């Protein structure tokens, strides 16, 4: 390629328009809801697939529903890949995942319009069930893609509503024929909103992400005895709800006492029969623990499980637990991180090296190829919330860093 590509820039208006159009699919009063493999996810997939085909990408759908669009380079060989996810939580925003996929398409279109064909092929992907909100674990599609989870285990996973991944893939028409893990990738770069407060608070435009913190998701089930809320003396109670709430409180205590990067979240609690005047006989709660330090994360897990066992025994209830997700901290490729950092500086942007608090498909691709991420600021650090916002200028800056990072990797 003998172009001076330094002055090349993406079309920010077109990127913003696509983000807005995709964001209409699954829009609710509480935010964007395109839970993995739902009808809304299927409609979002159809739209992005249409854009991929309009760009002339050769599109493949694998057996777990991952979608990869490839733009051929002047030479054969493994592509340089970018992408992310387009499934959302129930209260999703416009940018989480969607930005990485649509900025990838914008890069391809910008290169087409400039008449540039890179030496290596370029691929844009979206992976199935990154959020893990409906089917555990999160990053399921990219985990299968890199061989970290057996396809059968993923397909037979039962979601929070009782349906399996396989059934839902068939229902939305994305049970692909391609084997998972194709094409093998030369390198991977993902653009994503930070979803935290750091870049905005410290006045940076770009995050050169050094890695992803460890993630531990546990579901606790507590079985006690339902009884009358008024007539049952406290000493005779076996209150599942009390134990669940105590575990939830202790999760917060552990994070507060440990400090550092330790975080703890109880996102889901179900009580049965969930009535004002009945002592709950059953409680199910999820605990999300994360830390950049694996040893500290294990310590938090041990403290939580020990507390849960002790309080369940004291209350005379039965406790069981199952691991919903467990990923150790991941470090990205140092050269790729430096490339993101240098590219941002060359574009006159203030860039900060930082870890990711959220999980991402990139942490799975890092198992098989040199991988990096580019962050752009989240207003107020808000995400997984309909108020998620990143300014058009920041979106444009991030997409231009992606453009020039991919150009370097694919040339």
Interface with Mn ion by CB under 5 A: which residues?
Answer: 96-97
Q: From the list Mn ion, ligand HGY, none, which binds 132 (C-beta under 5 to 8 Å, kind-based)? A: ligand HGY
Give the residue with the Cβ less far from ligand HGY, 84 or 336.
84
Give yes or no for a contact between 74 and 119, defined as CB atoms under 8 angstroms apart: yes
Give the residue with the Cβ less far from ligand HGY, 78 or 148.
148
Give bridge partners of residue 214 from the DSSP assignment. Answer: 291
CB of 137 to ligand HGY, least distance (A): 9
CB of 324 to ligand HGY, least distance (A): 11
Q: From the list ligand HGY, Mn ion, none, which binds 194 (C-beta under 5 to 8 Å, kind-based)? A: none
Q: From the list Mn ion, ligand HGY, none, which binds 101 (C-beta under 5 to 8 Å, kind-based)? A: none
Give the residue with the Cβ less far from Mn ion, 190 or 396.
190
Give the residue with the Cβ less far from ligand HGY, 132 or 207.
132
CA distances from 82 to 79, 298, 387 (A): 10, 32, 26
For residue 62, the SS3 value is strand
Q: Output the CA torsion sign for 338, 341, 343, 348.
A: negative
Question: What does the DSSP 8-state code read for residue 59?
Answer: E
The candidate with the shortest Cα–Cα distance to 258, out of 301, 196, 312, 215, is 301
Give the residue with the Cβ less far from Mn ion, 99 or 244.
99
Give the residue with the Cβ less far from ligand HGY, 57 or 133.
133
Q: From the list Mn ion, ligand HGY, none, which binds 138 (C-beta under 5 to 8 Å, kind-based)? A: ligand HGY
Question: What DSSP element (H or E) covers 81?
Answer: strand 80-84
| CB-based closest residue to Mn ion | 97
Q: From the list ligand HGY, Mn ion, none, which binds 97 (C-beta under 5 to 8 Å, kind-based)? A: Mn ion
CB of 359 to ligand HGY, least distance (A): 4
CB of 188 to Mn ion, least distance (A): 15
Q: From the list ligand HGY, Mn ion, none, which binds 200 (C-beta under 5 to 8 Å, kind-based)? A: none
For residue 102, the SS3 value is helix
Q: Strands 67-71 and 122-126, how do they pair?
A: antiparallel
CA distances from 68 to 61, 183, 310, 348, 404 (A): 7, 8, 48, 32, 21
Residues 6+ apart with CB under 8 A from 169: 37, 64, 65, 128, 155, 175
How many CB atoms neighbour CB 174 within 10 A? 22
CB of 404 to ligand HGY, least distance (A): 27
CB of 132 to ligand HGY, least distance (A): 5
Q: From the list ligand HGY, Mn ion, none, which binds 359 (C-beta under 5 to 8 Å, kind-based)? A: ligand HGY
Give yes or no for a contact between 183 and 70, defined as CB atoms under 8 angstroms apart: yes
Give the residue with the Cβ less far from Mn ion, 73 or 214.
214
CB of 365 to ligand HGY, least distance (A): 15
Give the residue with the Cβ less far from Mn ion, 69 or 100.
100
Exposure string of 75-87, with b = 16+ CB inside 10 Å and e = fewer, is: eeeebbbbbbbbb
CB of 170 to ligand HGY, least distance (A): 24
Angle ∠(62,121,22) on CA atoms, nearest 5? 55
For residue 393, the SS3 value is helix
Residues 6+ apart with CB under 8 A from 7: none
The candidate with the shortest Cα–Cα distance to 204, out of 55, 394, 387, is 394
Q: From the list Mn ion, ligand HGY, none, which binds 44 (C-beta under 5 to 8 Å, kind-based)? A: none
Give the residue with the Cβ less far from Mn ion, 198 or 342.
198
Q: From the list ligand HGY, Mn ion, none, which binds 341 (C-beta under 5 to 8 Å, kind-based)? A: none
Q: Which residues lie near ligand HGY (CB under 6 A)?
A: 130-132, 138, 358-359
CB of 297 to ligand HGY, least distance (A): 14
């Amino acid at each position: 390629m003998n172009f001076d590509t330094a002055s090349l820039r993406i079309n920010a208006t077109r990127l913003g328009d696509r983000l807005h159009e995709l964001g209409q699919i699954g829009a609710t009063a509480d935010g964007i809801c395109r839970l993995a493999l739902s009808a809304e996810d299927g409609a979002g997939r159809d739209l992005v697939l249409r854009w991929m085909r309009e760009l002339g990408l050769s599109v493949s759908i694998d057996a777990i529903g991952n979608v990869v669009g490839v733009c051929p380079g002047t030479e054969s060989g493994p592509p340089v890949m970018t992408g992310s996810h387009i499934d959302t939580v129930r209260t999703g925003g416009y940018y989480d995942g969607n930005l990485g996929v649509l900025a990838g398409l914008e890069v391809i279109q910008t290169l087409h319009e400039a008449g540039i064909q890179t030496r290596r092929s370029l691929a844009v992907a979206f992976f199935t069930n990154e959020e893990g909100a409906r089917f555990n674990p999160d990053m399921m599609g990219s985990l299968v893609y890199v061989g970290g989870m057996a396809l059968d285990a993923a397909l037979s996973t039962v979601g929070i509503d009782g349906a399996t991944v396989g059934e839902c893939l068939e229902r939305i028409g994305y049970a692909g024929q391609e084997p998972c893990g194709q094409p093998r990738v030369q390198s991977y770069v993902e653009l994503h909103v930070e979803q935290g407060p750091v870049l905005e608070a410290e006045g940076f435009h770009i995050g050169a992400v050094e890695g992803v913190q460890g993630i531990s998701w546990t579901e606790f089930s507590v079985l006690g005895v339902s009884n009358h809320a008024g007539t049952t003396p406290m000493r005779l109670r076996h209150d599942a709800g009390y134990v669940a709430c105590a575990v939830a409180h202790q999760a917060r205590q552990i994070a507060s006492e440990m400090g550092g990067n330790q975080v703890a979240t109880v996102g889901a609690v179900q009580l049965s029969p969930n009535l004002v005047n009945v002592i709950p006989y059953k409680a199910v709660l999820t605990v999300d623990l994360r830390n950049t330090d694996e040893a500290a994360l294990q310590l938090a897990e041990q403290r939580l499980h020990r507390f849960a066992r002790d309080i369940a025994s004291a209350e005379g209830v039965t406790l069981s637990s199952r691991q919903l997700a467990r990923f150790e901290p991941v470090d990205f490729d140092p050269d790729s991180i430096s490339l993101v950092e240098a590219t941002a500086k060359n574009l006159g942007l203030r860039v900060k090296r930082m870890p990711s608090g959220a999980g991402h498909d990139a942490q799975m691709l890092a198992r098989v190829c040199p991988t990096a991420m580019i962050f752009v600021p989240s207003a107020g650090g808000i995400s997984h919330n309909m108020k998620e916002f990143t300014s058009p200028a920041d979106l444009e800056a991030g997409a231009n860093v992606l453009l020039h990072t991919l150009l370097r990797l694919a040339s």
